[in-house]
Chains A and B, each alone.
Chain A
Amino acid sequence: MKKIHIKWWHIALLLCLALALLSPLASSSPDGLEKVAEDKGFIEEAHEAPFQVIADYMFPGIENEALATILAGLIGTAGIFVITYGIARLLRVRKKQNGKAADQISS
């Protein structure tokens, strides 16, 4: 069997990061819930967050809005991949330790 070093999810992750590059193209109109809150007059009941990290998907301190959004998108996309991959990996390890038959590693 031919050895393949590039796995499907390496390419998929690159595609997801490429998708994040498109984030400045997103519509800035209010979403469904915001629109309803505006129309029905309860939008002002929304509170500001007690702290802000990368609020509204704009990396702070960058003047160019498109760049700030792209950076936020790349950080979020890469970050959530690492977090969920890590959680899944930990749950997988625990399964092995539980002594159940490990299924074949073939991915």
Chain B
Amino acid sequence: MHIPDGFLNVATIATTYTVSAGGLGYALRAARKKMGEKHVPMIGILAAFIFAAQMLNFPIAGGTSGHFLGAALAAILLGPWAALLILACVLILQCLIFQDGGLLALGANIFNMGMIGSFSAYFLYRLTTRVMGDNRRSMLIGTFIAAWASVFLASSACAIELWASGTSPISIAFPAMAGWHALIGIGEGLVTVAVLSLVTVVRRDLLAMERI
């Protein structure tokens, strides 16, 4: 759901750039405070995985494809601020080098996929594991819910921006964006659960890092 240039008006571009820049500034401060030695390779690997996985569009239905987002995976493993940092780096590289997502829309893309994606996933995961207990089953259910919601809510934010920019009425943009991404979110949930299950089996200790 990388927004290209041309879909957003000046007010939306300015607002989303401001919010994303503020968020990133805070994320850098939080990371500087809590960054441990073990976080360093984990951040690099998550960014590399997210970049590679985002290239692999999978078909859903009706001639539409979706791709992995990764905000939930990063937020669950490393915390929401670290996830925002990772997603922002991926989105900036995709924008500058691969022309995926517009230069003026970069603030909105970081806001939708980086901020909304990471924070909604983190809080829903925390909420689920708190309500259902700290066991493997609730962790996997919480992961699926968090991953699904991160894609759904990021696409909803995108629909609101399209509406605020006068590109598409909310009654059209919202059901269309939310509908497709409700399906894409299932893919996100399955991939995130699979990767976290793999980490649980192979290197359980990597799940226990301090969240940033």
A residues near B (Cβ < 8 Å) are 7-9, 12-13, 15-17, 19-20, 22-23, 25-33, 35-37, 39-40, 42, 45-47, 49-50, 52-57, 69, 72-73, 76-85, 87-89, 91-92, 94-95, 98, 102-107
CB–CB A105/B47 < 8 A:
no
Query: Which of B5, B41, B168 is in CB contact (< 8 Å) with A85?
Result: B41
Q: How many residues of B contact A (CB 8 A)?
A: 69
Tell me how far the C-beta of B201 lies from the nearest C-beta in chain A, rounded to whole angstroms.
13
Q: Given A40-B176, A55-B98, A95-B32, are A32 and B181 neighbors across the interface (CB < 8 Å)?
A: yes
CB–CB A42/B167 < 8 A:
yes
B residues near A (Cβ < 8 Å) are 1-7, 28, 31-33, 35-53, 55-59, 62-67, 85-86, 89-90, 93-94, 96-100, 102-103, 155, 158, 162, 167-168, 172-173, 176-177, 180-181, 184, 202-203, 206
State the CA gap A26–B41 with chains docked (Å).
27
CB–CB B52/A16 < 8 A:
yes
CB–CB A105/B99 < 8 A:
no
Interface CB pairs A-B, < 8 A, 26: A13-B45, A16-B51, A26-B58, A27-B59, A30-B63, A30-B65, A31-B2, A32-B184, A36-B168, A40-B173, A46-B102, A49-B102, A52-B99, A57-B55, A76-B55, A80-B47, A81-B44, A81-B45, A83-B47, A84-B46, A87-B89, A88-B31, A92-B37, A95-B35, A103-B36, A107-B40
CB–CB A26/B55 < 8 A:
yes
Q: Is the interface of A mostly helix, strand, loop or mixed?
A: helix
Q: Name the residue of chain A whose CB is nearest to the CB of B37.
A: A105
CB–CB B176/A39 < 8 A:
yes
Q: Given A40-B168, A81-B44, are A31 and B66 neighbors across the interface (CB < 8 Å)?
A: yes
Chain B residue numbers with a CB within 8 Å of A78 are: 48
Tell me how far the C-beta of A103 lies from the nearest C-beta in chain B, rounded to whole angstroms.
5
CB–CB B41/A49 < 8 A:
no
CB–CB A80/B51 < 8 A:
yes
Q: Given A35-B64, A46-B7, are A19 and B37 neighbors across the interface (CB < 8 Å)?
A: no
Query: Which of B40, B53, B89, B162 is in CB contact (< 8 Å) with A92?
Result: B40
Chain A residue numbers with a CB within 8 Å of B176 are: 36, 39-40
CB–CB B173/A36 < 8 A:
yes
Tell me how far the C-beta of B4 lies from the nearest C-beta in chain A, rounded to whole angstroms.
4
CB–CB B48/A8 < 8 A:
no
State the CA gap A56–B101 with chains docked (Å).
10
Chain B residue numbers with a CB within 8 Å of A47 are: 4-6, 102
**15 further interface pairs, Cβ-Cβ under 8 Å (given A16-B48, A56-B98, A88-B43):** A12-B45, A16-B45, A26-B56, A27-B58, A28-B65, A30-B64, A31-B1, A32-B1, A42-B168, A46-B4, A47-B4, A76-B93, A83-B47, A91-B35, A98-B32
